[in-house]
Structure 1
Amino acid sequence: MVVDFREPGAARAGGYALAVAGVLVAVGLALHPLPSRGLFEQASVLASTPLWGPIHVAIAMGFVLSVLGGLLMLTAGGTLIRHWLNAFAWGAIAVGMIFFTGVALINGFVMHALAPMASAGDAVVYDAFNRLLVGFGWLGNPLFLAGLTTLAFMEVRTHTIGMSRELAWFGLAVALLSWLRGIGSATGLYVLEPFVLANIPAFLWLGWYGWRIAMLTRR
């Protein structure tokens, strides 16, 4: 199939950014402890996870690259945003990740440093940042997942970039499964929290999507 770009350079740069982002976030999530009954971070978990800071710095870097990738795809134009749902998908990924980056940054640079004090009983500041973290999460994660799910749905429906049918359906499946952790933590259905692991293949799929776009610009 023919995929055209208004700005091929932007498409290639965005594709490379998403490819790196997918790997960074997937590695960070693979090392991340599983959620512990709710949206708030538990000080005891942070204090007992020495790599908590580096894990979230890696995730934050991946999130920032996801913002960059989404903005560059909107700039690239052409086939990537010709359908309004594709345009929505890239916009939602970019804007959602702006807010969701705040979650990773607060976790990496603030919460880890405050965890020992909170464990010792001085939890006022820790709790305040915990609430800020959850607020950023509510603003960013659903919007990002809406964008990712829409992107995968459009690949299944219209084969925007000519991805194989199996890989397109895989992307849609893991995007839908990625919603379950947030739903479980927010509603008390904590049995759903391990589905946070679905985010690992979801980000790898997004990274592969970006890599394929970058390769298409070279034809």
Structure 2
Amino acid sequence: MAVDFREPGAARAGGYALALAGVLVAAGLALHPLPSRGLFEQASVLASTPLWGPIHVAIAMGFTLCVLGGLLMLAAGGTLIRHWLNAFAWGAIAVGMIFFTGVALINGFVMHALAPVASAGDAVVYDAFNRLLVGFGWLGNPLFLAGLTTLAFMEVRTHTISMSRELAWFGLAVALLSWLRGIGSATGLYFLEPFVLANIPAFLWLGWYGWRVASLSANRR
């Protein structure tokens, strides 16, 4: 299937942004402690994780690049958004990440600083930010995952960027598995929480998707 772009420059820039985003988020998640029974961040975990702040700053930078990449893919047009589901996927990734970036920012710049105070017993401010964090998560994560899952589904179905069949199915599998952590934390099925690790290959797959788009658009004018 031939891939065409209305704006090859936007496709190339968006692809590079997503490629870097995938690496940043995957690296941050690889260093991140596993969830501890629920959506709220435990002050004791934060206080005992010295790299909590830098981890979430890296993730926040990656999330911001996902917003940029999604918007640039929409601007690139052509094959990338010709089907309405592809257009939905990129819009959902961009808008979902606008809100989900708030989770990483609050964790990196606020929660880590408040954790020692909360561990000492003064948890009022910490709890308030914890609730704000969860609110941003509810707004952002399901929408982002809906976009990512749709993007992978469309690659399996229509070969939007001519990805190999195996890699397309791999992307769909890890996107679907990435839902399980949130489902487990929200419903009390805490044995599902380790599936947060599925987000690592999911973001690497998204990054590779971006790199592939950038490569395809590099020789277009």
* Range into which the TM-score falls when normalised by the shorter chain: over 0.9
1:165-193 per-residue CA deviation (whole Å, 9 max, x = no partner) reads 00000000000000000000000000000
Instruction: Give the match's secondary structure for 2:206.
Output: helix
Shift of 1:2: 1.1
Instruction: Give the match's secondary structure for 1:160.
Output: coil
Once residues 216 and 79 of structure 1 are traced to their aligned partners in structure 2, the CA distance between those partners, rounded to angstroms, is 12
Give the structure-2-normalised TM-score.
0.98
Once residues 172 and 132 of structure 1 are traced to their aligned partners in structure 2, the CA distance between those partners, rounded to angstroms, is 30
Shift of 1:110: 0.1
Shift of 1:48: 0.1
Q: Which residue of 2 aligns with 1:161?
A: 161
Once residues 52 and 35 of structure 1 are traced to their aligned partners in structure 2, the CA distance between those partners, rounded to angstroms, is 13
Shift of 1:75: 0.1
Once residues 23 and 89 of structure 1 are traced to their aligned partners in structure 2, the CA distance between those partners, rounded to angstroms, is 20
Instruction: Give the match's secondary structure for 1:39.
Output: coil
Shift of 1:34: 0.1
Shift of 1:16: 0.1
Identity %: 95
Alignment of 1:100-179 (within 5 A): 100-179=100-179
Q: Which residue of 2 aligns with 1:40?
A: 40
1:141-187 per-residue CA deviation (whole Å, 9 max, x = no partner) reads 00000000000000000000000000000000000000000000000
Once residues 80 and 154 of structure 2 are traced to their aligned partners in structure 1, the CA distance between those partners, rounded to angstroms, is 10
Once residues 137 and 110 of structure 1 are traced to their aligned partners in structure 2, the CA distance between those partners, rounded to angstroms, is 16
Q: Which runs of 4+ in 1 moved over 2 A?
A: none
Shift of 1:40: 0.1
Instruction: Give the match's secondary structure for 1:163.
Output: coil
Give the structure-1-normalised TM-score.
0.99
Q: What is the aligned length?
A: 219
Q: Which residue of 1 aligns with 2:16?
A: 16
Shift of 1:37: 0.1
Shift of 1:129: 0.0
Once residues 41 and 93 of structure 1 are traced to their aligned partners in structure 2, the CA distance between those partners, rounded to angstroms, is 24
